[in-house]
């Protein structure tokens, strides 16, 4: 579908009314993506029980968001929910899973372990302190583990980001809003304006470059070269 996203906008903008077409295409794109987030079932630890299982269970029911279609293969998944600690042995594999996912792809880090290494931040020789050292993370859901509702809040946050998200004019570049408040939700009123502005300016992330700049990108290449394609 590279044609629709890459070539069409350039052509469409030239014809009269093309702007409208591109804008409505943007809307359709982001609406469909936001409402159809199929998670990759990637759980390593306790958070997997809460994030991938308890949320999908009858009491919480992830399917209300259309996200119960947990795919086991990264090719068909849209959002990688990193639930649990990432250790050095897992990191290259996780990076690989991420690279196997088809664009557009998003990453949610849930729980302290995935955000920062959490309980294992200190004195552990094998932990990766934060999944964002390995893959670019879009939404962080804190908690140890977060409640299923907190995961839903994270999902809503991600949906909000996607809706605002990419345009067909500049694919691959996403704009993250700084605060996760929903229209009816709570807003943190007293955050300083300049921090807000600074973070927003900083958070225009070029996904491709950010991914390539990650130290694990190189490590994965190296790991794949040594371990993977053995005859």
Partner 1 sequence: MTALASGIERREKVNRPAVRVPAERLLEVAARLRDDPALAFDMLVDHAAIDWHAENRFELFYHLFSTAHGHALTLTAFVPRDAPVVPTVSRIWPVAEWQEREAYDLMGILYDEHPDLRRLFLEDDWQGFPLRKDYRDPDMLEFQK
Partner 2 sequence: MTVNVKTLNDIIAPPGAAASALATEEYFVNMGPQHPIAHGSLRLVVRLDGETVREVIPVPGFVHRGIEKMAEHLSWRQLIHLTDRTDYLSALMNNWAVARTIEQAAGLATNDRIETVRTIVAELQRLQSHALWWGVLGMDLGAFTPFLYGFREREVISEIFEDTIGARLTMNYIQPGGLMYDIHPDFAQKTKRVLAYLKPKIDEYGTLLSGNVILQERLRNIGVLPAARAIALGCTGPVLRASGVPCDLRKVEPYGVYASAEFDVPVGSKGDCWDRYCVRIEEMRQSIRIVEQLIDHIPEGPHTTVKFGARIKVPEGIHYGQIETARGILGVTIVAGGKADAPYRLHFRSPNFNNLWAVTELARGWRIADIIAIQSTLDLVVPDIDR
Partner 3 sequence: MARVKLTDTRKETRTLAGRPVPVVVTPRFARRGRLAVFADALASLLAGMRLTFGYLVRPSTVVTRQYPENRATLKLPARFRARLRLTLDEHGYQRCTACRLCERACPNASIRILTRPGALSKHELDRYIWRMDSCVFCNACVQSCPFGALEMTAEFEHAVFDRRLLIFTLNRYAGPPASVLLKEPDEAKRAAAMEPRDPYGGPVPLNGTDLPYLKALAVAPRPDPVRHAAAPAPGGQA
Q: List contacts with partner 2 (CB under 8 A).
A: 41-46, 48-50, 53-54, 56-59, 72, 74, 84-85, 87, 89-90, 93, 97, 119-120, 122-127, 144-145, 147, 227, 230-231
How do beta strands 79-83 and 39-40 pair?
parallel
Residue 44 lies near partner 1 (rule: CB under 8 A): no
Whether the Cβ atoms of residue 111 and residue 147 lie closer than 8 Å to each other:
no
How do beta strands 39-40 and 106-110 pair?
unpaired
Which residues lie below 8 Å from residue 63, measured CB to CB, with a gap of 6+? 56
d(CA 71, CA 203): 29
Report in angstroms how near the CB of residue 107 gets to partner 3 at its nearest: 11
Measured from the CB atom, is 72 or 123 closer to partner 1? Answer: 123
Residue 126 lies near partner 1 (rule: CB under 8 A): yes
Residues 126-145 interacting with partner 3 (rule: CB under 8 A): 129-130, 132-133, 136-144
Single out the segment in contact with partner 3 by CB under 8 A; choices: 4-12, 18-26, 27-35, 59-67: 59-67
Residue 60 lies near partner 3 (rule: CB under 8 A): yes
Whether the Cβ atoms of residue 174 and residue 205 lie closer than 8 Å to each other:
yes
Largest CA distance in the chain: 63
Q: Which residues bind partner 1 (CB under 8 A)?
A: 88-89, 121-126, 129
């Amino acid at each position: 579908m590279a044609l629709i996203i890459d070539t069409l906008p350039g052509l469409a903008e030239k014809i009269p009314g093309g702007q409208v077409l591109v804008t409505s295409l943007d809307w359709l794109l982001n609406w469909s993506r936001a409402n159809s987030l199929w998670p990759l079932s990637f759980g390593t630890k306790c958070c997997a029980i809460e994030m991938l299982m308890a949320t999908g269970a009858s009491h919480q029911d992830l399917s209300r968001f259309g996200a119960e279609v947990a795919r086991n293969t990264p090719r068909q998944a849209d959002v990688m929910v990193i639930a649990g600690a990432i250790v050095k042995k897992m990191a290259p594999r996780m990076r690989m899973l991420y690279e196997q996912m088809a664009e557009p792809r998003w990453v949610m880090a849930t729980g302290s372990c995935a955000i920062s290494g959490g309980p294992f931040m200190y004195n552990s020789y094998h932990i990766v302190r934060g999944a964002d050292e390995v893959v670019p993370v879009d939404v962080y859901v804190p908690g140890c583990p977060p409640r299923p509702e907190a995961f839903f809040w994270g999902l809503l946050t991600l949906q909000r980001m996607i809706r605002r998200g990419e345009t067909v004019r500049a694919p691959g570049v996403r704009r993250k809003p700084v605060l996760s408040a929903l229209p009816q939700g709570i807003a943190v009123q007293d955050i300083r304006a300049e921090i807000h502005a600074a973070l927003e300016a900083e958070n225009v992330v070029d996904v491709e470059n950010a991914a390539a700049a990650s130290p694990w990108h190189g490590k994965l290449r190296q790991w794949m070269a040594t371990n993977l394609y053995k005859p």
